[in-house]
Amino acid sequence: MNSLNDWLLLVLTLPTDNATARMRFWRALKAKGCAVLRDGVYLLPATSAAEAELLELGASIGEAGGAAHLVRAPSRDADQEAEFRSLFDRADDYGAFVRSLADARKTLSDLSPAEITRLLRRTGKDFEAISSIDFFRNEASTRAEAAWQDFVALANTVLSPGEPHPAEGAIPVLRREDHQGRTWATRQRLWVDRVASAWLIRRFIDFRAQFLWLASPGECPADALGFDFDGAAFTHVGERVTFEVLVASFNLEDEPGLLKLGTMVHALDIGGPVVPEAIGFEAVMAGAKARALTDDEMLAEMSNVLDSLLAHFAATGKTDAGKRP
């Protein structure tokens, strides 16, 4: 241990005549990751953010009829440093989380797409709740993060079998006029990237496109243009999902709203910056899949949604541009 930490000690007396307020403050202390030194004395590693949060919490306790004092002090020596750090060991929390993932894996294949989506969202929040208060990371956090990533990958495989691996290299710019009236092929049981890519192809690239939905990528005819599977003409490249690769390949970046739509598809397919509209789009897709639509029906239905989202992103893009100084 190379250096000694500063610590924040919150010494408090909670209001005795307001059980609801006491419970609220206890939950707030737990959510911030405070360790209990003794009854009424709580500890956190000293940071400016933690100090501001504890001062705000102390003020709320005072307003509710209690009392709170915040003290900042360094560890006395290495032994005390080690003792304080041990109070923040999250190994048990991570262990319980990893066991919950192991239990969830057993039933994953039996869940509907909507149930898998909800499970991913819930377990993601559980992992974030632990990691956000893990101030001294160790092997337990590394193992839990690896287990979480493996679980996400498995869930995505169940949702979308045959998900492509990213290819490397430059994305050549192609002429739309050379890609008219073609047969385009991708994996059946459409999900976000594939349905958005098929919509993009027919909407902006090949207006007379015909689609084949493949049970296996190996069934792709030699004269068809494959997309969103390993070895396809258009698939993931680097950090870009297939939708983004198609936008770049056919020089569509200037089409109003398409880049923002690509950000949404990217986030839903492999993660990324949060797009508020993504939750609604994902819910509509899950609902459509729950209705057991064929892939042709899924494309037709989601094309209307994507048309509306494109109009929305184009309009909000103009509004944002108008606000710039």
Domain boundaries, the chain: 6-86, 91-159, 176-323
Task: Write down the pLDDT at residue 286.
Answer: 84
Look up the pTM and report it.
0.57
Half-sphere CA count of 212, side-chain side, radius 13 A: 18
3-state secondary structure of 10: strand
Handedness of CA 206, 210, 215, 221 (dihedral sign): negative
Cα of first residue to Cα of last residue in the chain, in angstroms, is: 50
Task: Write down the pLDDT at residue 319.
Answer: 53
Residue indicated by tokens 């397919």:
269
Phi, psi of 185 (to 5 degrees): -130, 140
Task: Write down the pLDDT at residue 164.
Answer: 81
Task: Report residues of the chain scoring pLDDT below 70.
Answer: 1-2, 160-161, 318-325
Task: Write down the pLDDT at residue 325.
Answer: 45
CATH topology of domain 6-86: Alpha-Beta Plaits (3.30.70)
Calculate the average pLDDT of the chain.
90
Task: Write down the pLDDT at residue 292.
Answer: 79
Task: Write down the pLDDT at residue 291.
Answer: 83
Task: Write down the pLDDT at residue 320.
Answer: 54
Strands (E), the chain: 6-13, 35-38, 41-45, 67-74, 183-187, 210-214, 225-226
